[in-house]
Amino acid sequence: MTTTLPVESTTPTSPAGLTNHPLQVFNPQGAIPPLETIMKMHRNMVMVRLWDDRSLKLQRSGRIGFCVTSHGEEATQLGVAAALRDNDWLFPAYRQHGLAMWRGVSLLDLAAQLYGSADDRCEGKQMPCHWSFADKYFASYSSVIGTQIVHATGAAMAAQISGNPEQLAVAFFGDGSTSANDFHSALNLAGVRKAPALFVCVNNQWAISLPVEKQTASETIAIKASAYGIEGVRVDGNDVLAVYQAVLAMAERARKGEGPALLELLTYRVHPHSSSDDPSRYRASDGVEAWKSFDPIQRLEAYLKYHHAMTDEALKAIWEAVEKEVYEATDEAYKVAPPAWETVFDDVYSELTPQLEEQKAELLQHESGLVLAHAGAFPL
């Protein structure tokens, strides 16, 4: 028997931007998942937060070359993850590693990819924090704007054709991607075919330096769904229970063959766009501070404490335990050497061309010198 908590308001006043009546649960509306699920959501949101903090420190200290964080956007990941089935395909943008965590990807696996070590599933051939876990139905991160939206439509149509219409394909993208051709092409085709797909727009209100009001003249992103004949839902993306409820409802529709949906998860990009960005050059700090007070983890913790499901001491213990896990995994993964040099020739051709065979032989001939040169840049 599962335990559920009642729905009562524990939210602060909404900051500017959270308008046009997005779906909320913390301001009473709708059913919520069992307490066990909520607790798992919370722990994973904490893990994403601390993982991102650690990743940024690793980048700033020169251990990795690049990272993208999702501070303040954790609910947009875990609310979706909890509402899906484990075999639903995920087509992320670049702030969805919480879904991989939810599905059981180890922190060591995640950390190996940051370093591009010999344990990296991508064999060091991807940018840091561009994960891919086929066994978890987690496609590679996409840095190219909007391409993953088309991929999701194709995967959803493939599920229909193969006789598995209940297997969803879920695309994630930012508000900036809604201006890309792929967004329009994918939603139009998915709507026509009633493909079992969900299109999740994480509207964090900034496409690098471009604010959303200069991105579109539409009143909301969700309203764009009407042009394609599909469902559109606007959700408070900092309310993890509302995200869960909305995704669960739209997923059920799609599995029944009632067509795809566009979900706009309204949140805010608190951190820079990436470790290469300086947002102080293009936006004021007052908006950032307003949204910090609307923090999704703080809201969920306030809710759990209000209903006596957690104490301050228990919450503190969770943060400390997760932080220990994150640091141990990233420190352990750092000890692993880089991939062997010759692996650069793998996974391109089934049989190497004569030119590549010659180049590989030349590389192996000079391998010892390369290893010595690299050791200084990658100390163990």
> What is the structure's pLDDT at 286?
78
User: Between β-strands 231-236 and 210-211, what pairing exists: parallel, antiparallel or unpaired?
Assistant: unpaired
35-334 CATH: 3.40.50.970
Tell me the one-letter amino acid at 77.
Q
Of 60, 85, 282, 374, the active-site residue reads: 282
Calpha distance 192→171 (Å, rounded): 17
Does the pTM surpass 0.85? The reply is yes
Residue whose entry in the numeric block shows the structure tokens 């066990």? 36
The question of whether 273 is a catalytic residue gets the answer: yes
Q: Which amino acid is at 13?
A: T
Residue tagged 């997005």 (tokens) = 22
| pLDDT (0 to 100) of residue 288 | 85
How much is the pLDDT for 225?
97
Structure tokens at 175: 């508000």
Please count the other Cβ atoms lying within 10 Å of the Cβ belonging to residue 30. Answer: 15
User: 27: closest CA among 40, 11, 48, 42?
Assistant: 11
Distance of CA 140 to the CA centre of its chain: 11
296: left (phi over 0), alpha (psi -120 to 50) or beta: alpha
Q: What confidence score (pLDDT) does residue 20 get?
A: 58
Q: Supply 59's token pair.
A: 């980048």
d(Cα 170, Cα 149) in Å, to the nearest integer?
A: 8
pLDDT at residue 347 in the model: 87
Report whether 172 contacts 90 (CB < 8 A).
yes
Which single residue is written with the structure tokens 């779906």? 23
Determine phi and psi for 264, rounding to 5 degrees: -100, 115
Which residue among 97, 269, 271, 299 is the active-site one?
A: 269
Q: What tokens does 242 get?
A: 């509302």
- Does residue 130 have an active-site annotation? no
Q: Which of 268, 273, 299, 303 is catalytic?
A: 273
pLDDT of residue 289: 85
Residues of the chain with pLDDT under 70: 1-21, 26-31, 367-380
pLDDT at 197: 98
Is residue 214 packed enough to be buried (19+ CB in 10 Å), middle (13-18) or exposed (0-12)? exposed
Q: What residue ranges do the domains of the chain occupy?
A: 35-334, 341-375
Which residues lie across from 170 on neighbouring strands?
90, 198
> 3-state secondary structure string, 12-60?
CCCCCCCCCCCECCCCCCCCCCCHHHHHHHHHHHHHHHHHHHHHHHHHH
- Catalytic: 282? yes
Q: In the beta sheet, which residues pair with residue 207?
A: 210
